[in-house]
Each structure stands twice: as structure tokens, then as C-alpha cells.
Amino acid sequence: MKNRIPVAAAQRVAEQFDLTQCLLIGWDGTNTHIVTYGRSKADCEAAAQAQEFWAGRIREFSFEEKPEGRSEDAFLQEVRAARDVWLAENDPRDGTDCVTPFDRFLYGVKPEANASPVTVPEEKPCEAWRQYTADFDGMDDAEIEMETRTAENNLDEAESWLEAVRSWEAAGKPRNGVVPAPAEEEPK
């Protein structure tokens, strides 16, 4: 899940405490959420590297042991689902192998200590506004800020829904609050 914590929150913290970079890490009881802010492009890049480092360390720590009360199969299914989400968000899809923070737990694979980080080319942020020229010309700053907050809230709600659907699917698609019993294996 991307940016459950809005970048604007990290920016507010950075501005309030006169920081050039800010990394916010949150836990909702199920998932870790990380957002970064950098005052300059170099600060953004450094904060993104810190995010990669801490996200990997948090995930490694989170999956060291199977939580009590879960079957081994259910737990492995959750870890594999989390790995798939990580890959969807981070794999550059350029044909190279992408080592995830979950691989050590699942397969005993440790990333090489001297491996180069993979970077995904970014769109030119200074040109993104051009597609909304008419909107910016037709609104004052307060209206733009209000529209921005509405968009951030809608994004948070959409991400929350997607997270809920993934959780519901992982729980076996319960209906009326009842979790279906696992299918019994046929005797061999």
C-alpha cells in the first residue's frame, strides 16, 4: 500500500522543526506505513534511501517468527501476499532479479552487502502540472489546497478499501462476519 500517510504530513513535520528531510513510520496493527519528504531533490533521494533501508529492516524484524495462533500455511500465505505487494510497488520490471525484504524469511536468500540499489526513473515533477494548466488558472490558492486535501482523502479511502479487500481475500472471503472453514484435504 502506498502513502497511507500523506506526504504533506511529513512536509509539515519537516517545516515545523526546520528539517531538510523527514521520514514518518506508522503501524496500523496490520501494516507498516512509511512516507518521506525532502526539501530539495537531493534531500528527497536521501530520504527515499532511508525509507528503503528502514522498510527492509522493519519487514525483516516483523517476519522473524510465526505469530501465535496462526497455522504455518496461513502465515506463509500472508508473507507471500505481502511479498507480492512489495514487488508490485518496487520491482522495476526490467527483467532483472528483484530481491525483496521477505526473501530471506521465505527462501533463506540474503541480499548482497555491496549490491547497488535499484532506482526507478521518475517523471519530471516540474512538468506534471502542465496537464492541469486550466485548473490552476481557474482556481485561487485556497481552492487548490482544498482540492488537494479532497484528493488525498479520496486516495486514502481507496487505499484503505484495497487493503481491506486483500485482507478479506486472505481470510477466505468471509460473508456475514463468518470465516469459512478451510477445505479438508482428501485422504491419500
**Each residue of 51-109: pLDDT tens digit?**
877 776 665 555 545 556 667 777 778 778 878 887 887 777 777 777 777 777 777 65
Tell me how far apart the alpha carbons of residues 55 and 61 are, in angstroms, rounded to a whole number: 10
The answer to whether residue 165 is domain-embedded is yes
pLDDT at 32 > cutoff 80: no
Residue 185 or 46, more confident: 46
The answer to whether residue 4 is domain-embedded is yes
The answer to whether residue 175 is domain-embedded is no
Cα dihedral 61/62/64/66 (nearest 10): 170
pLDDT at 116 > cutoff 60: no
Please indicate, yes or no, whether residues 76 and 19 belong to a single structural domain of this protein: no
The answer to whether residue 176 is domain-embedded is no
Residue 177 or 6, more confident: 6
Cα dihedral 116/120/124/125 (nearest 10): -100
Please indicate, yes or no, whether residues 115 and 133 belong to a single structural domain of this protein: no
Please indicate, yes or no, whether residues 68 and 58 belong to a single structural domain of this protein: no
Please indicate, yes or no, whether residues 50 and 89 belong to a single structural domain of this protein: no
The answer to whether residue 15 is domain-embedded is yes
Our count of domains for the chain comes to 3
Q: How confident is the model at residue 123 (pLDDT cuts 50, 70, 90)?
A: very low
Residue 124 or 102, more confident: 102
The answer to whether residue 92 is domain-embedded is yes
Please indicate, yes or no, whether residues 128 and 91 belong to a single structural domain of this protein: no
Could you say which of 62, 87, 107 is where a domain stops?
A: 62
CB proximity list for 160: less than 8 A, separation 6 or greater = 4
Please indicate, yes or no, whether residues 137 and 91 belong to a single structural domain of this protein: no
pLDDT at 5 > cutoff 60: yes
The mean pLDDT of 41-53, rounded to a whole number, is: 83
pTM of the model: 0.35
CB proximity list for 58: less than 8 A, separation 6 or greater = 25, 32
Max CA distance (Å), the chain: 71
Most confident of the following: 6-20, 52-66, 117-131: 6-20
Domain range enclosing 137: 123-170
The answer to whether residue 178 is domain-embedded is no
Please indicate, yes or no, whether residues 100 and 141 belong to a single structural domain of this protein: no
Q: Which residues pair with 26 in a beta bridge?
A: 33
Please indicate, yes or no, whether residues 99 and 150 belong to a single structural domain of this protein: no
pLDDT at 147 > cutoff 50: yes
